[in-house]
Amino acid sequence: MAVDIFIKSFNRVYYLDRAIYSVKQNLTGDYKIIVLDDGTPKKYLDKIKEKYPEIEIKTSKNYKNKIMSIEENIISGKDIDGFSIPTDLWYNAVKNGSEYCIVTEDDVWFGSHINIDETVARCKELKINLLKLGWLGNVEDDKYFDISEISKDIENIVPKKMFLGSKALMDLFFYNKYKFFTIGYKLGFFDNYTKRKYWGLNSILMGLWKREYWLEVWKDAKGKVDEKQQLRNAAAYYNKNKRNANFAARLKNEAMRTTFQSSATNSYHKYGYLFDVNYCNHLLNEAWYDGKFDITQNFPKDFEIEYLESFFDEKIDVKEFRKWVSHFKEQYRNLGCDVE
């Protein structure tokens, strides 16, 4: 059975095209690309389908409303509702998909080769539930794990001294119910970095997942991305399977990359600068639609910032855009990520 590659997308067709292109350039083996779209205007999706007729595109329940919201934003500047997330679309797609699948987003792409058949075979053999294909160059958190080679290109990630328990107990921990985390902090059991190690069990953008585990992590998402809920679910599931030393693993060398120069809507990364993400995406989408935008520019690295700026008009203040990008990068740089 082909391995499903799910690409969640929303109104950044210039990145979506690059994401699909990167799969076709760098992945070999039996796979199928399924785009899970939440509001990319139809003319863009039609062109994507024309360019890649073999892919499948599924749209969310709110697809038409999101398109109308995008159109209204271009006309009046009214904010797009970026907080209504089609988790039901994602969940049902994975539930009805392949035993192992890749779940990624439109602004993430493959920068190096993977034989998907061989990789999935190793995951099955080694009983890996999550294989990280990228981790944003963050090695600062490696101190929280015992890491060792388990195959020529894979190493396992075993958390050190991780607080674990049932879902109810982990609920107290992550949401600080009844001051559970606060009391543990004062007693010296937890510190400001305790919760970071749980990200070793999760990957929002760059994971090859065993279907059962992804479904458990995203269980009860109900239209929003709740990272605490995800980590709670991941920790409780891992607690039941912690004897599996290869539960979570990663490639020795990262195969996936993402951008720190773009956002889907103004709902995220709102820093107070005079820069409209939605209008920026509109200009870049239109340039792509008109055949003027080269998705391979600077590949496999991100687009050069000057290249993106070459499509801006007088409504975008380049200085404000650069401040916005700098702030975006700094947030992730402070977490130990390689943002360049």
Q: pLDDT at position 81, please?
A: 63
* Residue 72 pLDDT exceeds 90: no
The string of pLDDT tens digits covering residues 218-270 is: 998 888 888 999 999 999 999 999 999 999 999 999 999 999 999 987 766 77
**By the 8 A CB rule, do 119 and 208 touch?**
yes
* Residue 83 pLDDT exceeds 70: no
Strand pairing partners for 187?
A: none
* Residue 174 pLDDT exceeds 80: yes
At 193, is the pLDDT very low, low, confident or very high (cuts 50, 70, 90)?
confident
Neighbours of 152 (CB within 10 A): 7
* Residue 164 pLDDT exceeds 70: yes
* Residue 299 pLDDT exceeds 90: yes
270: Cβ–Cβ under 8 A, 6 or more apart, which residues? none
Q: Which of 68-77, 81-90, 181-190 has the lowest mean pLDDT?
A: 68-77
* Residue 190 pLDDT exceeds 70: yes
Q: Identify the burial level of 67 via C-beta atoms within 10 angstroms of its C-beta, where 0-12 means exposed, 13-18 middle and 19 or more buried.
A: middle
At 296, is the pLDDT very low, low, confident or very high (cuts 50, 70, 90)?
very high
Q: pLDDT at position 50, please?
A: 98
pTM of the predicted protein model: 0.95
Q: pLDDT at position 23, please?
A: 98
- The percent of residues in the chain predicted with pLDDT above 70, rounded, is 97
Tell me what the pLDDT averaged over the chain comes to: 93
Which residue, among 136, 201, 171, has the nearest Cα to 337 in the 3D structure? 136
The string of pLDDT tens digits covering residues 50-63 is: 999 999 999 999 99
Q: Which of 10-14, 32-36, 82-86, 195-199 has the lowest mean pLDDT?
A: 82-86
Topology, domain 3-113 = Spore Coat Polysaccharide Biosynthesis Protein SpsA; Chain A (3.90.550)
The string of pLDDT tens digits covering residues 132-159 is: 999 999 888 898 899 999 999 999 999 9
Range 318-322 average pLDDT:
96
Where in the chain are all domains bearing CATH 3.90.550.10?
A: 3-113
**By the 8 A CB rule, do 130 and 207 touch?**
yes
